[in-house]
Amino acid sequence: MVGDLQGLQPDFLHPPVVEAIIGVQFEPIVGFTFAHFGLFWQHIRRQYGKIEFREPSPPIPQYANVPPFLPLRAWFLDDSGAQLVQLQNDRIVYNWRKAGKAEYPHYDNMRPVFESLWQTLMTFLNEEGFSIPGAAFCEVTYINHIGLEGIKAISPRLNESFLMLPSDPPSIAKDAGLAEFMETLQVPPDQIQLRLALASISSPEQISTLQFQISALSKLATSESESVFTSLDACHRLAVRAFVEGTSETLHQLWGRGDKT
């Protein structure tokens, strides 16, 4: 499904993105305590003035058998709640979440924010006497919400709007509603894992909605910033390609597509 866009950088004026995620997971930091959340917060508190604590995200597979040194995750939020930094002893994640009529800020604006957070974390760990953790992988994820009524107005056949769906589904599926579609690809040459998920959900306004989630995950060789951000950029490019090639030109017009070179 993922082809060659021949050097173009697809861009959309009004993409249906409701959440975007940039993150890095790494080897669990031994000795990281509850107090370190507060100490780290002091470095970013001016921008992220609220703190909450949540259950930790599940460990990555290669560390599944490592005891949870600190089974806790901190959320640092800005005043709007749209920007969120998640920290636990094996990852740091930056989220943008749609609030009100705010438009998606685009990767080019999110990337330097995460780069600053990453550098702040590395400096903090060094100051606190921790070794820089071995990096495991990085992730770029986009969650899109698309009104089902608008899609059906374009075409009653979902596979004409979402091109990853089977073009000739079996007869039992022809009149069935979509519950969930999932696909995982290992994409060369970087062997980035691409995860696509399309599902029917109910929005907070009780509007029938399709949620189209695209995640690109890449293994990291080192924790060096150059390696991390080269891989994140590759994940972003692949996620955008999957979005473009997995949706129809009619939807692209609706979202205001304009390619950059």
Q: What is the pLDDT of residues 246-261, one digit of tens each?
A: 999 999 999 999 877 6
Q: Indicate whether 3 pLDDT > 60.
A: no
Under the banding of pLDDT at 50, 70 and 90, the label for residue 103 is confident
- 17 touches 142 (CB < 8 A): yes
Taking the C-alpha atoms of residue 207 and residue 137, their distance in angstroms, rounded to an integer, is 36
pLDDT of residue 184: 94
pLDDT confidence of residue 159: 87
Question: Distance from CA of residue 216 to its chain's centroid?
Answer: 8
Orientation of helix 34-44 relative to helix 107-127, angle to 10° = 130
Residue with tokens 């606190």: 128
Backbone CA torsion sign across 137, 163, 253, 210 = negative
Q: Which two tokens stand for residue 76?
A: 């640092």
**Could you tell me the pTM of the whole model?**
0.90
Mean pLDDT throughout 20-33?
93
Return the closest-CA partner of residue 98 out of 25, 14, 182, 179: 14
* pLDDT per position as a tens digit, 55-79: 998 876 665 556 656 789 999 999 9
Q: Would you state the torsion angle of the CA atoms of residues 77, 79, 81, 82, taken in this order, to the nearest 10 degrees?
A: -100
Q: 87 or 102: which carries more pLDDT confidence?
A: 87
Q: How confident is the model at residue 224 (pLDDT cuts 50, 70, 90)?
A: very high
- Averaged pLDDT for residues 139-165: 89
